[in-house]
Structure 1
Amino acid sequence: MYEHVKKLFDLGADGYDWQRRSLIPDFDQFYGMAVSLIRPERAAPSILDLGAGTGLLTSFVAAACPQAKLTLIDFSEKMLDQARKRFERHPAEVRFITGDYAEREFPETYDYVVSSLSIHHLEHADKQKLFKKIYRMIRPGGAFINADQAAGETPFFEAFNLREWEREVAATGLPPELIEASKERRKQDRNATVSDQLRWLREAGFADADSVYKRLGFAVFYAPKAK
C-alpha cells in the first residue's frame, strides 16, 4: 500500500504545492495554526518534519524561525528534490533524508516534531507506534504538531465532511482532472477520528494533547511534552 502511495506522490510532485491551496479548505488558517504553535525558547530550535514532501510546511516554519535547524524526511525523492530547491538559501542547517519515517529509528532528539497531511496514510496500529516514537524523540519542553486529515466521528459526519470538501474544491475552479487525481489519492487514506488520535497521543506519553483547529476533515493536533 505504501509503495502505491509513493508512486502517486512522485507523479504529483511538480504541481503539489499550488494544488494544496485549492484542496485544503481554509489553507491559511490550517497551516497558520500549526506554525503559530512553534514557540521555541531558543533562537535555533531543532525541528523534524515527518513526510515533509516538497517542504511546504517547513517553509512556513522556517519563515517564522529563520535560525531553525531543519530535518526533512520523505519517501519520495522527487518530492525532496523540490524541497532542496526551496531551502537552498536557508541560513541554518538543513538535512534531507529519503526514507520511511514509520520504520526509521531516529537517534537524535528534537525541540519540535511536525508533520502535515502524511500520517493519515499509515494503518492505525502504525500511527500508534509512531506516536510513541515521536514522544521519545522530543526534548522536554518541546512539542509534536500534526496538521492532518481526520475521519468523521460518526458515519454521518464522515459523509458530510467528504461531501462539503468536494463542494468547496469544485468551487475553486481547480481543473476536474486534478480533482479526480486527488480523489484517487484519497482512496489510500487511512483516516482516524480526532478522538482516537488524541487517545493514542495520551497513551504515547503526552499528558496534554488536543485538536486546536478543525474544519471538515482537517485538524491540527498539538501535543506539548512536559519539561
Structure 2
Amino acid sequence: MENNVKMQFDQAAPSYDDKHGKLIPCYDDFYGAAVTWTELANDAPYILDLGAGTGRLSAMMLDKYPGAHITLVDFSEDMLQKAKARFGDHPNLEYIAADYLTHEFERNYCAVVSSLSIHHLTHEDKQVLFRKIRSLLKPGGVFVNADQAAGSSPAFAAEFKRLWLEAVTATDLEPEDIEASKKRRLLDIDATLTDQLQWMRDAGFSEVDCVYRNREFTVFVARA
C-alpha cells in the first residue's frame, strides 16, 4: 500500500499545487483552521510537518511564525523537491525524505502538524503514530491534523464522496485531473471522527477535539 501511495504522489507532484486547492471544496477554511489552532507561545517554535508534500501547510506556518524552524517530512522526494523550490534557501527549514512512521527523529517539537496524509495509514498505524507524536512534543505542545474522517456509517461516507465529486466537477479542473484524484482516493483509509479522537486520548494527549469539519475534511487538535 505504501509504495502505491508514494507512486501516486510522485506522479502528481509536477502539477500538484496547481490543482490541490480545487480538489478541496473548503480549502481556505480547512487550512485556515489548522493554522489558527496552531497556537504557540514561542515566536521561534520548532514545528514538524508530517507528510509535508510541496510545503503548503509549512508555508502557512511560516507566515504565522516567521521565526519558526520547520522540519518537512515526506516519503515522496518529488514532492519535497517542489517544497525546496517553493522556499529556496530558507535557513530554518529541514527536509527529510522518509516514512515518518518509522523515522527516528532527533529532537522534540513545539508543534506537530499534518495535512491530508495520515489517512493513508492503516488504523493500527494511525494509533502507533499518535503515540509517537505525543512522545515528540515538548510539554505544552500541540498536534494539529487537517485530514479526512470517514462518515459514521457507509451511507454518510458515500454521501460525502458524492458531494465531493459534485463540487470538484463544478470547477474548471480537467476530467483527467478529477479521475486521477479519484484514483488516489481509492487508496484512502479513512477512520471515523469518533475513533480518531479516542485514539488520540489513548495516546496520552490531555485535551483533544475536532475544531473544524466540512463532511470528510476535518481538523483535529490534541494538546500534550
1:72 CA displacement: 0.3
SS in 2 for 1:70: strand
Q: How does 1:2-41 map to 2 (within 5 A)?
A: 2-41=2-41
SS in 2 for 1:103: coil
Between 129-138 and 8-17, the greater mean CA deviation after superposition: 8-17
Give 1:161's aligned amino acid. F
1:89 CA displacement: 5.0
1:14 CA displacement: 1.3
Structure 2 length normalisation: TM-score?
Answer: 0.98
Give 1:48's aligned amino acid. L
Stretches of structure 2 lacking an aligned partner (at least 5 in a row): none
SS in 1 for 2:47: strand
Residues 4-43 of structure 1: CA distance to partner in whole angstroms, max 9, x if unpaired? 1101100110111121111112100000000011222121
Structure 1 length normalisation: TM-score?
Answer: 0.96
Cα separation, 1, equivalents of 2:115 and 2:4: 19
The residue number in structure 2 matching 1:67 is 67
Say if 1:25 and 1:215, in contact at 8 Å, map to a contact too.
no
Q: How does 1:164-179 map to 2 (within 5 A)?
A: 164-179=163-178
SS in 2 for 1:39: coil
Cα separation, 2, equivalents of 1:109 and 1:126: 21
Cα separation, 1, equivalents of 2:89 and 2:39: 23
1:107 CA displacement: 2.8
Residues 148-179 of structure 1: CA distance to partner in whole angstroms, max 9, x if unpaired? 01110111110110010000010112111000
1:105 CA displacement: 1.9
Stretches of structure 1 lacking an aligned partner (at least 5 in a row): none
1:207 CA displacement: 2.0
SS in 1 for 2:83: helix
SS in 2 for 1:96: strand
Cα separation, 2, equivalents of 1:199 and 1:136: 17
1:198 CA displacement: 0.3
User: Are 1:106 and 2:105 counterparts?
Assistant: yes
